Structure 1
Amino acid sequence: MGTEPRREAESLRGSRRSTARRLPRRAAAGRRSFTSTLKALDDLATSGAKISVRITDLDRGTAVLSGDDFVTLPVAGLGVVPLLIEVASGFEAGRLDPLEIIDRHFVEPVGVAGVWQHLKAPALPLSDLAVLTASTGDALAANALLARVGLPAVRSRIEQLGLARSALLDRFRDERGPDDAPHFALGSSRELADVFAALVNSQAVSPGVSAQVAEWLALNHDLSLVASATGLDPFSHENDAHGLLFINKTGRDAGIRVEAGVLAGPRAGVSYALIVCFDDLSIAHRLRAHDAFRTLGVDLMEYVF
């Protein structure tokens, strides 16, 4: 999957990497085995975990690594990415006012993640809610955005993006009853990697929408999984002194860990996605899943540098 990037387009990836000296492509040819990642994922699969992984070379548009990348699995909070794309599209088209104030008292309380529930400000503009959603995985802010744009609009946007194996099923909830959707969102690693590639190549809806969503995601604080290998500051990593371009989004729920993003250095750039659904029976089971993400991060850094 993936298409050859438009080199003439002003993309986030191009503008942020223009000052880095590109080494010959064949210089990285021997760094593509991802042996450690494959072993870690194989160990997880042997223990019963469900895994979907995809790594796409941004320059070539070809798969570097794929495994069950077409399989649809729950993606937890990573499902907010299509929501953010719809919000940014509404801003650009004038359907939504970025400064429209939303009062949280009109949104059903949810405490699974985020900071708005702890703030004194009872109301915030839509643009700030988008920042909270992208940067801290704020469930209350995401639900407020979803209530404003509507679930049908996000589902329509998912269809327009060509995501046949992805869906936003419901809002965030503290508990899911028998009458609720079993998950917040579903997706496949191939489609998640494609969405992030489209964002940095200015191809998600429009260059303006792509840049806005990428800017929001660049504020993400969760660098504990794949991103732990980057050495970036979780709270300030927009302008890296070593020429590293990085945006990501994670998703977490009981027995679910997901991360998708873009990582680009002087030698190469990739979009990636990894979904792991596992039996969260103990801390050891959870840490084993986390270690697989971190191993992938190390292999990705070796690929792009």
Structure 2
Amino acid sequence: MPPEPFDTGALRPAQDPPKRDGLSLRGSRRSGRRLPKRAAIGRRSFTSTLKALDALATSGARVSVRINDLDRGTSVLAGDDFVTLPIAGLGVVPLLVEVAAAMEAGTLDGFEIIDRAILPRVDVGGVWQHLKAPALPVIDLAVLTASAGDTLAANALLRRVGLPAVRARIEQLGLSRTALLDGFRDERGPDDAPHVALGSAGELAELFAALVNSQAVSPGVSAQVAEWLSLNHDLSLVASATGLDPFSHENDEHGLLFINKTGRDAGVRVEAGVLAGPRAGVSYALIVCFDDLSIMHRVRAHEVFRTLGTELMEYVF
């Protein structure tokens, strides 16, 4: 049977934004410059992204996308954004929220030392396994988790706060289609959860919007998690269109605000984040699950993310 068509929903044209409060993380990065109205109209189309997603879905991939305009608080583009799919390492974002919330509540000391010797070995990603330091404080483990996708550091945080606490935090955040199922493993056996985490593009885009709007748990927690995520080194998918330095993009000289998190697994690519320029700001999420049969299959999946990144840059500038 042919694959079901990709439901792109409605691509709604944006209107003049009302004034809104609460975008404190973006306020200092936005200038008063606005594009001429005629030029702005041409930059609001996601035609290339839609074509690329349709082609990928036709080839058998499962795709889910959501883009929200932060100033308007409305959806700009939505396609199967309610579908729950594997999100791999992006599932650590609720974990980071729980760690930051516990630190703010005083139930977790950010300088508490965790020894990696108590953790099962995992080699699927990260740098802590290559460092000589056998133990690190919680707050440094959060930085490694957010910036380097460090699976051992994430497992250490998960062991410390507990999976039930993270699941309770996910529920408190109002995420009904998102779940952290397990820690990271080199191999998954029949008794293990089939995936690290599941989520939907709609909820992931909303979560990132909540982070920059200071609405995830509290302003302090939102700011802390956004700060950790702003250190992310993986700018190879959507973020490749930004031209930012992967290792130093906290204070971009062109006024671009960007935070993101990616997830990668066999046949899974996902990215969610916030991109804000002088003209507009968006939160976005794209999940692609594909048959990773060859390098070319993988490259085609990656190209969709880069196409989206290019059109997002046109939208915010």
Whether the aligned pair in 2 keeps the contact of 1:5 and 1:58 (CA below 8 Å) is no
2:5: which partner in 1?
none
1:286: which partner in 2?
298
1:13 aligns with 2:15: no
**C-alpha deviation, 1:31, in angstroms:** 1.6
1:194 aligns with 2:201: no
Q: 1:96 aligns with which of 108, 128, 134?
A: 108
RMSD across aligned positions (CA): 1.4
2:70: which partner in 1?
58
1:211 aligns with 2:211: no
1:87: which partner in 2?
99
1:35 aligns with 2:47: yes
Distance in 1, matches of 2:275 and 2:41, equals: 17
Whether the aligned pair in 1 keeps the contact of 2:20 and 2:71 (CA below 8 Å) is no
Normalized against structure 2, the TM-score is what?
Answer: 0.92
Cα 1:10/1:197, change in 2 over 3 Å = closer
**C-alpha deviation, 1:30, in angstroms:** 3.0
2:279: which partner in 1?
267
Distance in 2, matches of 1:54 and 1:275, equals: 9
Distance in 1, matches of 2:85 and 2:170, equals: 16
Which ranges of structure 1 fall in alignment gaps of 5 or more residues? none
Report SS of the residue matched to 1:54: strand
Distance in 2, matches of 1:224 and 1:232, equals: 10
Normalized against structure 1, the TM-score is what?
Answer: 0.96
1:223: which partner in 2?
235
Distance in 1, matches of 2:58 and 2:225, equals: 37
**C-alpha deviation, 1:24, in angstroms:** 6.4
Cα 1:247/1:5, change in 2 over 3 Å = farther
1:135: which partner in 2?
147
Whether the aligned pair in 2 keeps the contact of 1:6 and 1:201 (CA below 8 Å) is no
Distance in 1, matches of 2:258 and 2:23, equals: 17
1:113: which partner in 2?
125
Distance in 2, matches of 1:263 and 1:126, equals: 28
Whether the aligned pair in 2 keeps the contact of 1:130 and 1:216 (CA below 8 Å) is yes
Which ranges of structure 2 fall in alignment gaps of 5 or more residues? 1-16
Instruction: String of CA shifts for 1:124-150, please: whole Å, max 9, x gaps.
Output: 000000000000000000000000000
In the alignment of these two chains, the number of paired residues is 300
Cα 1:183/1:90, change in 2 over 3 Å = same
Cα 1:129/1:112, change in 2 over 3 Å = same
Report SS of the residue matched to 1:175: coil
Distance in 1, matches of 2:67 and 2:23, equals: 23
Whether the aligned pair in 1 keeps the contact of 2:111 and 2:139 (CA below 8 Å) is yes
